[in-house]
Structure 1
Amino acid sequence: MQAGVPCAAAAARGAGIGLPEKAGMWKGIRWRMKNSFFRKYKNEFALYRIRKKLLTIIAVLLVVFAMLTMLLFYLSERSSYQKNMAESNEIMASQMASVYELYMQNVKEIAHDTAFNNQELFHLSAGERQDPQAKTKILDMLGSISVMNPYVHSAYLYYEEEGMVYSSISMPYSITPLENFGDKVVFEQDSAAKPYQVAPHLLHSTAAMSDLRKQPLIISYVVPTASRNGTVYLCVNVNTRSLYSMILRDFELEQNKNFYIVDKEGYVVFHRDSEYLFVKQDELPQKDDVIRSEAYSSILGFTFVFESTVPPLESGLLRFSSWILGALCVTMVVAIVSVIYSTLPIRKMVQVAKKSNLRDFLAKSGGSADTTFWDRSMQECKNHVVGVFRIASHADAEEFLNQSIKMSAENEKDYQFLVIKMSGETIAIIFGNIRHYGDIQFRQHVRTQCEKMCATFRAGEKAYCVVSQVKTGVEQLRDGYRECCETFRYQYLFPQQVIVWEKIDTALPGYPFPVRHERHIINNLMAGKGEACLRHIDEIFADFRSGDYLIKDSEINRYLAVMQENISLRLETLPIPIERPARHGFDACATLDEVYTVFVGYVHEILVQITNRPREPENNVNTVVLEYIEKNFCQNDICLSKIAEELSLSANLISRIVKEASHRSFSEYITYKRIQRSKELLADGSMSINAVSEAVGFTYPYYFIRKFKELEGVTPGQYIGAQTPSDG
């Protein structure tokens, strides 16, 4: 019976039996369609599961491989890294010791030259020193030592005969008995026969006693000189903080480096942190991750110590391995979760991976870029332009990324584009030329589009863009990206929101440190002349904007930071101390105008304090001008323009001061001072007329004779003859 059923069914179909057989046919068709759909998607689902498992296994293997590779690399490089750092520290310590020896040798030469060239002042008796002119000459000699050498803080002259100390600064007065002198420790050495050096010590004269940072740290060098009235001691004081600031221009100390000086007894006599001054070296905080090198100076008797802190990732195998293991574990978990629960198609996942490859290709050296996922129209572009955007914050960068993708999609008929997020605040857009524009026209079109993106962005003022040159081929895209990144280093010089790379002229010279402007700013600031300070600051920033120099933002910030430090150090030398304002940082500034505002604000804070402080007679401009003329009238090149340049004053003001003080013009006053000085030299009788003429500043003897007769009514020879009887 069962074997005959198919035959019966076939016979029925052949006989044309209708409705019951038709229903069975449609049922079979539906079953076959359902079975076919299930098999199709079942295979596809199985393929996705297999791919997910493969991706998971690959991710795990890559993480393990990366962890082992980095660990082996760390083990092989750590010892050589520490060895190189130790050698570098030894070189730096030796160089710092050599530089300090050089400066201290210069101080010794200054002290000996001063003692040799001013013997007449050293041999003055107690009675002769009571003469106001003698006191003035002694104080002028001491003041000239400090003025001519920025790292020299002050100078003393101690007459053992009467126990009086003459000082270039008030301690508490310029002329003080030894028992009342604030720094008498320098004269308590039992060495009257040969020069000696006094170890670093604090000078309590210009700052609050409780704040060590405001007290000058002094190294004193004393030269004893025997005279007919007893021993005279000349002491020259070196401000180690000012000396350190000068040396800092040549040696940039990073945050992980430290430098200090130790004396023969093992005490720290100089340290950037005042908390550790005069502390035993053994009592300093000890760290395991510090590499220390020492250089001993037999000339100074000091040990110069240079320390480098090993970066945290180099401080220990356990810390390094733990950090890497934790980071890779998190990466592994994120990768597995992303692969398992991702709903993106495989093709899009491959595109994301290849886009990451392109990002690495742009940002790093070596390797090649995979562009197989580009659209066909992008591959057909004959050239490309790279535009790099830098956004102020991460949140704004995400918003700008979405907006740029939308705007680029709206203009896809004009160009092809690819948006790549390089970092948290950096976005790169590759524009492809599909309309076969010329290079100039295509680049101008890209620039216009970038300007539009910045203008329509909600926080447009926080967006900054650089457009590269036109590049042919994907291999040149890396050069375009580097051009843009290099331009970001000169953002102060080019404040426009969108700039092309060609504006960076790499042939321009670098900008040297503005030493002359710095000196004038400090001098005018100390004198309370705000307009003159602002004029020199404007000249510095005019140089920055002139386009004659190529200077990075970091260099501008560093120059201004050094100037702030030097201004702060100069405040310590003021007779009336003022509060040292906090230094302002420039790293948060986005434009040169913001940097200018911060620096001018810093100077203004100091200027307000200087302007509001009580005035002393020695700070009067008239006194400064007349004292300068008194010291230099015998120089044959003295003139109004030179004095104006040195004192940062106008020539008209100097001429008026001289007129009010002497009722003579400037040239008449100089001639008068020279003739009066020549009378002293002629009366002495030890010099010829020609020698006297040259000594007081006259270039030609006949001119000296004529001026002498005009003022005195007799020639120099007649004057000598008239003086001879009185001398006899």
Structure 2
Amino acid sequence: MKRSVYLFLLYSNLTILCIPIVITMLVLFQSQHLLSSEVINSNKAQLNLLKQSLDNQFKDIKTMGLQLSLDPKVIKYVNQEDFKNPQARMDTLDLISSLHSYAASNGVINDIYIYMKNQHFGVTTSTMNQDDLLFKLFHENKGITMKQWSDSMEKAYFGNFVQLSRDDLVFMQSLPIQDINESKATLVVMLNTDRLKATISNMQLAKIGSVLILDSNNNPIMIAGETEHISDIEFRQIGPAEGTFSQRWNNNEVTVSYVSSLENGWKYVSIVPTKVYSAKVSQLRSWMVASLLMCIIIGGALSIYLTRRHYMPIRRMVDMVSPKVKSNLEGIKNEFSLLQSFMSENAASQDTMNRTIQKQQNVLRSHFLARLLKGRVESGSALSQALESFELQFETNRFAVLLFHIGDYEPLFRDSRQQDAESNLQFVHYIVTNITEELIGRKHNVFSTEVDGMIAFLVNIQGEDEVQTKQDLIEIAQEAQTIIQNKFYIQLTIGISDIHPSLTGIPFGFEEALEALEYKFVIGPSQIIPFERIKRPKNELYYPLDTERQLINHIKTGHYEEAMEAVSELIVTNVSDGTLSLQLGKLLMFELIGTILKATEHFQPEQHELMIEKHALIKQLTQCESFAEIEEEIYKFLKTVCDYVDSKKKSHNTNLKDQVLSYIDENLADMDLSLTMLSLKFEVNAPYLSRFIKEQLGETFIDYVNKQRVQLAKKLMLETDNTIAEITEKVGFTNSNSFIRVFKRYEGITPGQFRKGE
């Protein structure tokens, strides 16, 4: 036998050693990625701060431009025609003062001037100059010609930031703002680009790389930091929102980050050499490699030492159990296989012995419980010893018995190939026992056994409240019955005893549960029958005359739900308080049948549809074996009668509706047409007829008649030349004013407007 366990332990320890090595490598790669992400996020954060700062300044300039455009002095000056009169000169001085105030309010503004297109001069913050002098003063030697500048002044602007030349960044607005396409002047706000560049240059990104501002077409507007080879950057990769990409620039790897401004569509871009933060990554990598080497050296030595130490106990165990193994030692490859063979053989032998003992113990325990329930065990010390030997520990001295009678369970095995009836029954007992024990065991101790083909549950009651405990047992029985019948298709009838205060009361509890179970012949199978229910006999039947009259009225009107509720109430009232004997139960059922037949006597003799149902009912009743079957037949017949009455009632309503509508259409011209007239005509009281029309038509009698009269009036106005007064009489209105008011209410216009086609 090879020392494979030793090698296995050694390999296991080395494998465990590999875990921190792999984790360290993953941490290294993740740290590199995290560091790069942090640098990129830091770049974006600085760009967002720059964007927010400049956007606020540009927004202030836009706001100031709008205020200037709406300034009454500016509007008056731009719209005047004569600029040579003394008043115009005074207005010019006043405008210069205003422009100077606006320019001084914002440190980013270099100067402001308003260029008058038709007069070819401009008003600045200090003077008024002709266009050529104005150009020389502000734009000469800045990379733009006089012609280009003049053309730009003639264009229409909607408050835009424009780069006139490389060093000229201005805000331009056509005046007056109310009519930009026919503007007479252009407002020009010249920005202090040096100050803006200084703001950008103070950023850390500009000190270690470059920061740019691009317009909406990705053309550079302003650059700070390293400017050489800027044109090599592929600005076409810059998208509309924000992002990051890497590329080669000036023989170095750089990271380009950008954010976009919603204020003016510009992009703020940073270009940072990758080597700035790669040095930190290299240092981190060096530390990680040193840590890995230490792990390998120290961990390898420790793994060999621990392997030797852990193997020695296994070697001693192998030497001890080898002579006791019954298997062929030549087929055993390693120490673990040897130990496993020994333990498997020992466990198999022990399991076989335990199963045999447990089976015998269960059989003896079940027989003892059955004898205990039937009162066939000795009392005193012998009983105590028997309870102890069978591990029957009762925590309290209060007991109740639940007895389960198993009915039909064939649907459970309908699709099964197994036809062994005894095995099927054992399986059914197993299902019922396990489910019920689990439900009862939530609140009480429970012990089960089979008695005379039934399953008995001896419940050791834990609670002190007897009323509540009885209700708990009923609810547990209901839950068990619901689960077993719905999921396993096993029909159960359950008898429940009263609670008894000692061991000697257990046989009485069994007798009570058995007596309650026999009552299933009265109320039918699949019931839960507490002994409390049957121990108070009932000597009279509850069937008041008022209830019988209500039931007859419900049947005559075809109200099945109300009739069924009345029948159910009678049954529940009679069986809920005390035991209803078999004789009284049959009497109750036949009283109900007599009431239903009495309710059908008013039907016409030729309506023989119900006669067949009556004969079928009587035939079925003679074949019923329980009260539940009789009750079911009563409900079936009751449904048939009510459906028949309801169908006749619906047929009558349909005929009445057609007759009423036909009569209204034929008598629209009658000014006396009313609900009273209709009620006399069809022999129906007026309130009922009003509700009937509302239910059938969805509107009141007056609304329906008025709408029909308006439709008839529209037809007469389109097809005849009758006057409004003549049409008023033909559609049943007493005067033209009433007709016009009703017509306008439903059509929205007067009859005269309708006839004219307005």
Do the structures match in fold with TM over 0.5?
A: no
Greater Rg, structure 1 or structure 2?
Answer: 2
TM-score (norm: length of structure 1): 0.27
